[in-house]
Amino acid sequence: MEPNSHRYEFDRLMELYSADLEQLRALALAEREARYGRAIFFNRNFHIEPSNVCIHRCKFCSYRRDSEDQPGAWSMNLEQIRKYCLKKYGKGITEVHIVGSVHPKRDLDYYISIISMVKGLLPKEVAIKAYSAVEIDDMCISSGLGSEQVLTRLKEAGLDALPGGGAEIFDNSVRMQICPDKTSAERYLEIHRTAHGLGIPTNCTMLFGHIENREHRIAHMLRLRELQDNTGGFNAFIPLKYSCANNSLSEIGEVSQEEILRTIAISRLALDNIPHIKAYWPMLGKKTGILAMEYGADDMDGTIENSTKIYSMAGSEEQNPTLTVEELKELASARGFHIKERDSFYRIIS
């Protein structure tokens, strides 16, 4: 990876955030092209969301339910997960992304058994990217073990990587308003640091476009950059735009496409040490996802196979998210890009 030609600090990033859009686009695109030219990375993947019953009450979440008997709640047992996995698995899939909720009654052994079962069921080369730092934190609390022990046990069962969920916004005053009872920013970063120390690569995220401001976003990115300077374990940063349907912040509405593109561009400039900026298309929509490639992003995530509900329940335009390789190729070539299939570790699949 070619590093940015120089490191941007807070004040300069704030200036650039409101710079002329064309100037900002050109800067971020130059950084992206220096690394990857006109390539767009993607993988073939599907998600398993074992449950949406959750003890946390994050105000932005449209997906969670209080208990099993509420309308729209689900919880899968191991056998149901096995059947679901066989239904979604198809030739060429290289990653299973498992993330759900902090269920009040599930324990570490249950989460380990999911990993072992999926690992045994699918070809060995299929990577398992599973459990956000918030879920890992809950496993630590319920088992009484530290994060190093929990992650080691999950790794032994077949865990290959952690997804980036749960970061939201690190600023404590914002966090206290949108997700007061959730894993703290410090704990999120500590769990990722521990994972990196164990050789488990991770992604990181930021939920933007709700009550936070641009200062909070840049401060958030700079904390991730600081950790990455120490560990080098993040593969990708995923700026997640808040989607407003069916949750208790709905009256806020959603940020404009321009603000999304500016945020993606700033993340490419700020995070000089994180290799990939992911434009997660189930949340952005396919067209904005491709457009984001002109603003510094280089990765679209995957084919998904209609297997995630987090964003459709929050009102995303992608109600049954599936992206075929042919469709991605067409969208990319219409803008002068070409696609490159990768695995979970960004090794190219020819």
What is the Cα–Cα distance from 25 to 288, expressed in whole angstroms? 14
Residues that bind ligand V47 (CB under 6 A): 60-62, 163-166, 168, 203, 205, 207, 238, 240, 242-243, 247, 280, 301, 310, 314
What is the Cα–Cα distance from 128 to 45, expressed in whole angstroms? 10
3-state secondary structure 75-96: ECCHHHHHHHHHHHCCCCCCEE
Of residues 61 and 139, the one with the C-beta less far from ligand V47: 61
Best CA proximity match to 167, nearest among 205, 210, 202? 205
Of residues 56 and 214, the one with the C-beta less far from ligand V47: 56
Residue 348 Cβ vs ligand V47, minimum distance, rounded to whole Å: 18
Residue 19 Cβ vs ligand V47, minimum distance, rounded to whole Å: 26
Of residues 203 and 228, the one with the C-beta less far from ligand V47: 203
52 and 309 Cβ atoms separated by less than 8 Å: yes
The phi and psi torsions of 258 (rounded to 5 degrees) equal -60, -40
Other C-beta atoms closer than 10 Å to the C-beta of 349 total: 12
Of residues 19 and 273, the one with the C-beta less far from ligand V47: 273
Residue 251 Cβ vs ligand V47, minimum distance, rounded to whole Å: 13
What is the Cα–Cα distance from 37 to 339, expressed in whole angstroms? 11
296 and 236 Cβ atoms separated by less than 8 Å: no
Residue 238 Cβ vs ligand V47, minimum distance, rounded to whole Å: 5
Of residues 27 and 247, the one with the C-beta less far from ligand V47: 247
Residue 308 Cβ vs ligand V47, minimum distance, rounded to whole Å: 8
Strand partners, 234: 202
Of residues 50 and 163, the one with the C-beta less far from ligand V47: 163
Sheet holding 299-302, edge to edge: 299-302, 39-43, 338-341
**Chain residue at closest Cβ approach to ligand V47:** 165
Residue 205 Cβ vs ligand V47, minimum distance, rounded to whole Å: 5
